[in-house]
Amino acid sequence: MNKRIWLIYGEDEPPQGPYWSKRVSILARRAHDLGVEVSSIGIKQAEQRVFSKQDLFFYRITHRSIPRIALRERIEMLNGGFLFNRCGERLGNKLAFYQFAQKHNLPIPPTCSDQEWKERGQNVFKGPYLVKKSLSSQGSGIWRVDDPLLVENYIDKMADRCVVQQLKILSPISDIRILMVGDRAVGSMRRVLNDSSSGEFRANLSLGLSTAKSYTPSSKILSLARSFMKLSKLDFVGLDFIKTKDGYLFLESNLSPGLEGISSLDSCIPERVLEALFERAKNHEQ
């Protein structure tokens, strides 16, 4: 059976809309280069047809940083096809990830929800603190707070739920991204802040202050990543870790991981992602 990718767009965007997402663009263009048929289709038209079980669905996941939940729900109801992360845990925000990690005893820095902080007071754990907006990405919506008396002020300023997390001081400031499809690690990198003395505490590449570096994951971090994938039953995730004196700690999960930085280190990553997703589509149950 021929492999096929469908780029599904909503009524509010033109057919080329899905290509506005760098992740979708990188995967779709690589698929085209590999001879995979790539087609665009509107959601209304898609709702009127039957798709092969092994067809992959991609869509523009956010618009102006707002998740397109209604479009995703319609895609999830289509007849056939494979939308990654259709099943499994809904871990698309920091609060949900914290609650999942707590439930399954995954190693994370000392963390609490906004409500837990208010209930327990300022002695939950030692600072410095990061106040993280639950629905945020690419390093935005995160504030460093050194004074525990000020944490609640930042919580109250949020227009969203948030988590409070202990900031681990690392030298150099860095984190690790492991790209997983099922139990298969398809890519990895280390993001290192260019100037750890600048006062910046985020290593996100999107901020333009860090460098992506090649990284070979250890058996320990791969074991943690595979445990997460097994517990969450998700298909495609970017997992962020830090390495401390206490070992590897999860930071968060990204259910729509970017590929631009990581594929600049290894041009084969998009192909490995596609191969693994097609294999997941082949084996999944409708």
Q: Which of 222, 219, 199 is nearest to 209 (CA)?
A: 199
- pLDDT tens for each residue of 47-65: 999 999 999 999 988 776 6
Indicate if 149 and 206 belong to the same structural domain: no
Is there a single domain that holds both residue 63 and residue 162? Answer: no
Where does a domain end: 76, 102, 129?
A: 76
**Total of domains in the chain:** 3
Q: 192 and 156 in one domain? A: no
Poorest-pLDDT segment among 29-43, 110-124, 177-191 = 110-124
Cα dihedral 47, 49, 52, 57 in deg (nearest 10):
-30
CA pair distance 95, 134, nearest whole angstrom: 5
Q: Does residue 199 share a domain with residue 142?
A: no
Find out whether 36 and 4 touch, Cβ atoms under 8 Å. yes
62 and 155 fall within a common domain: no
* Residue 16 scores a pLDDT above 70: no
Q: Name the nearest CA neighbour of 230 among 77, 100, 57, 61.
A: 100
Domain-ending residue, one of 59, 76, 93 = 76
Domain shared by 260 and 199, yes or no: yes
Q: For position 224, which CATH number holds? A: 3.30.470.20
Banded model confidence at residue 167, pLDDT cuts 50, 70, 90: very high
Residues 6+ apart with CB under 8 A from 242: 109, 168, 170, 174, 175, 176, 248, 249, 251
Q: Is residue 102 part of a domain?
A: no
Q: What is the CATH number of the domain that holds 10?
A: 3.40.50
Domain limits for position 124: 110-166
In a domain, residue 104? The reply is: no
Same domain, 211 and 244: yes
260 and 205 within one domain: yes
Q: What does residue 60 show for φ and ψ, rounded to 5 degrees?
A: -80, 105
Average pLDDT of span 211-215 = 90
Q: Flag whether 128 is in a domain.
A: yes
* Span 146-160, pLDDT tens digits: 999 999 999 998 888
> Is the predicted pLDDT of residue 254 greater than 60, yes or no?
yes
Query: Final residue of a domain: which of 54, 76, 98?
Result: 76
Answer yes or no: is 103 within a domain: no
Phi, psi of 201 (to 5 degrees): -120, 0
Mean pLDDT of 180-207: 82
Query: CA-to-CA distance for 80 and 165, rounded, in angstroms?
Result: 41
Rounded to whole angstroms, the Cα distance separating 79 from 217 reads 38
The DSSP annotation for 59-100 comes to: E--EETTEE-HHHHHHHHTSBS-B-TTSSS----SHHHHHHH
- For residues 111 and 166, the answer to whether their CB atoms sit within 8 Å is yes
Q: What is the CATH number of the domain that holds 130?
A: 3.30.1490.20
Domain-located, residue 97: no
245 in any annotated domain:
yes
Q: Single out the residue of 252, 283, 69, 34 nearest to residue 181, CA to CA.
A: 283
Could you tell me if 155 and 179 lie in one domain? no
Q: Residues 6 or more apart from 2 whose CB is under 8 A from it? A: 37
Q: Does residue 148 lie within any of the structural domains? A: yes
Query: What is the per-residue pLDDT for 205?
Result: 66
Sheet containing strand 142-145, edge to edge, reads 111-113, 162-166, 129-133, 142-145
Judge whether 268 lies within some domain. Answer: yes
Say whether both 181 and 248 belong to one domain. Answer: yes
Per the structure block, which two tokens stand in for 262? 């990581």
pLDDT for res 283: 87
